């Protein structure tokens, strides 16, 4: 399976995929890591010998959307994996490229950028991680896999998020293993 990684941050999710590839758990070719920020994710990918592209957000979002689309189209991946990429992808992108994302909550509960804080504020006893298809909404794509994380009485946003990240890294690797073994599942918006 040929994949492109999209990342904006520390790259811990990307690193879990790289490590799984390097250990033989994942039989994938990582074509490139693309980041919209000068991020640690770029450093991690470069250190692993993976090609990287820095594609900063532009004032004209439509130009950036086209640049991202054309960059990925040239790579011709089987799958795009959003690993902490903090941008909504344009409709032409998600209709052209099968794209999955991880989210630190049990969707459809707590979508958006503050899922962990929202779960705590809502008094959730259980939250977790979701891998889902990316569509044009914010964390609205079809759920592929989920794992629960129990909220502990002493949890704050940071401690809970760290425990979710551990599960998130396991879940993305397990999801990719399933795709390799069984093929990509259908996205509900496909005809």
The single residue listed with the structure tokens 């794209």 is 99
Q: What is the CATH number of domain 2-182?
A: 3.40.50.170
CB atoms within 10 A of CB 27: 12
Strand order in the sheet with 99-103: 52-54, 29-35, 2-7, 79-82, 99-103, 126-133, 143-150
Q: What is the pLDDT of residue 173?
A: 98
Active site residue 182: no
Crossing angle of helices 12-23 and 40-47, rounded to 10°:
10
Cβ pair 59, 99 in contact under 8 A: no
- What's the pLDDT score for residue 125? 98
Q: What is the pLDDT of residue 82?
A: 97
* Whole-structure pTM value: 0.94
φ and ψ at 141, to 5 degrees? Answer: -70, 165
SS3 175: helix
Q: Please enumerate in sequence order all residues whose Cβ is within 8 A of that of 50, keeping only pairs 6 or more positions apart, or say none.
A: 5, 18, 30, 32, 33
| Chain segment 33-76, per-residue pLDDT in tens | 999 999 999 999 999 999 999 999 999 999 999 999 999 999 99
Distances from the Cα of 97 to the Cα of 18, 147, 173, angstroms: 21, 25, 19
* Continuous segment of H or E residues that includes residue 167: helix 157-182
The answer to whether the CB of 116 falls within 8 A of the CB of 164 is yes
Strands 79-82 and 99-103: parallel
Q: Which residues of the chain have pLDDT under 70?
A: 188-191
How far from 35 is each of 11, 70, 175, CA to CA, in Å? Answer: 10, 15, 22
Six-digit token string for 114: 């503050």
Give me the residue label for tokens 């006893």.
125
Angle between helices 157-182 and 12-23 (to 10 degrees): 40
Q: What pLDDT, on a 0 to 100 scale, did the predictor assign at position 120? A: 98
| Annotated catalytic residue within 38, 103, 132, 182 | 103
What pLDDT is attached to residue 191?
35
């Amino acid at each position: 399976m040929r994949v492109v990684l999209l990342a904006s941050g520390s790259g811990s999710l990307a690193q879990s995929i790289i490590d799984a590839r390097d250990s033989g758990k994942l039989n994938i070719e990582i074509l490139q890591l693309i980041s919209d920020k000068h991020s640690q994710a770029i450093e991690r990918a470069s250190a692993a010998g993976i090609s990287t592209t820095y594609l900063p957000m532009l004032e004209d979002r439509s130009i950036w959307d086209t640049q991202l689309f054309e960059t990925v189209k040239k790579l011709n991946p089987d799958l795009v994996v959003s690993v902490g990429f903090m941008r909504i992808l344009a409709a032409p992108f998600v209709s052209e490229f099968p794209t999955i994302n991880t989210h630190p909550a049990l969707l459809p509960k707590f979508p958006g950028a503050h899922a962990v804080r929202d779960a705590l504020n809502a008094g959730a006893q259980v939250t977790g991680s979701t891998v889902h298809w990316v569509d044009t909404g914010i964390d609205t794509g079809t759920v592929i896999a989920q794992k629960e994380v129990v909220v502990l009485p002493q949890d704050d946003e940071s401690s809970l998020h760290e425990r979710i990240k551990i599960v998130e890294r396991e879940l993305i690797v397990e999801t990719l293993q399933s795709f390799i073994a069984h093929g990509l599942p259908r996205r509900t918006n496909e005809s």
